[in-house]
Structure 1
């Protein structure tokens, strides 16, 4: 069962009026508690400020550490890029020097090619002239030989037909060669051919055949010898002794 007796407050002794409290009496503990309760928030705030300062300092130190690390990394990258740029510049200078040397070499080769082409053209022209000269010499020799044959046929044999054949052969060779230097000779041969064609020719083979037939007939015909020229034959009416 619950005790329903009302609680009684402790009796606080009161000092008698006019009596003074002794000086050496201890302070009341109930009155000292409010002073302790007022200093608690200050300590808490101080601790919070210290913690915030420590956190802020740690954050600043961490940030500074990261910044220094990033700066070192960036500096390392910059050094690497600087070395790469320097190497690239060096390679570029070497490539430029090589390109200039190659350009000079190409120019020399082009000059050599042009000089060689000029020499080749000169040699080709000289060879063409030599071939033309040799061909002209051969053509001149052939025409001279044919003219000699025609002259022999006219002077020795009197054969106009063979002379015309020789001159026509010479004329055809000159026409095929088409050399301007032989144009006057070709005109002379054409004039000689016209004059020889205008001459009445004798059929030499037919005349030779007729002469051969006459010789054969003469060989078969009896010989008539005078009596005075025949040895041992007496004239008619004379008797031998």
Structure 2
């Protein structure tokens, strides 16, 4: 008889039994495997790190070499630049010195040009003043002042500004200056020369015509006319012998006929000399001659004579006209030019 096996018993026989020791062995094995795996991974990582460090060290070495090369090149460049800078500074010093010398030369040329301009204008103004004194005309002075003004405006130098103002002042003064009537004065002097011959001197007796005119004047009298005429016929010759008149200069009565002639000629020469001075535009000399002529007439001529009064009036009118004939002078411009020349 076949006996079938018990399923429960067979299952109990097949199933292994796990003991704590087995679990420990398996745990230690797993830990060992895990440690081995981790060691391998760590070793690989360390290898990669070493390779990376080696590459970085190699790169750092190359960079250090390159840095040294660049530093050497930079040092050479600095030395080269320093040498160039020294050379440039030397050349810059030379250029600055040349520039200073050039500026001094330009200033010297400018001062020389200004000095030449001042000297030229001063000479021109003095020559124009002499021409104006000789001709009595303001045209030479005006033309020279206008030319000087234009030259100063073209020069445009601040140090010559006072000269320009002085030139403008002289221009305005000359434009407003009045010139004397030379032809009219010459005519008056000619009339004066002609009147000297008819001048009545203090030592001369009245002319017969003047006595006749004086006697012909009717005189009021309380006596009858026939009695007055008889008295005049008797006293007339006596009045010719004695004449009473006022004389300011006693020496005028002591003139002889010859001296009277030379006196008239001397007065004529004075007026002719004044005429020549007027033509030469020597107004000061003309004034002196006219003053001396008037003084001689007042001293030696009869002040009561109408011819004497007319001649003195003519000389006075000539003196008044000469007051307008001042010689044109350029004192302001010449003084400014002298100051500018002294300030160089």
Structure 1 length-normalised TM? 0.44
Select the structure that is richer in helix.
2
Question: Max radius of gyration: which structure?
Answer: 1
Structure 2 length-normalised TM? 0.33
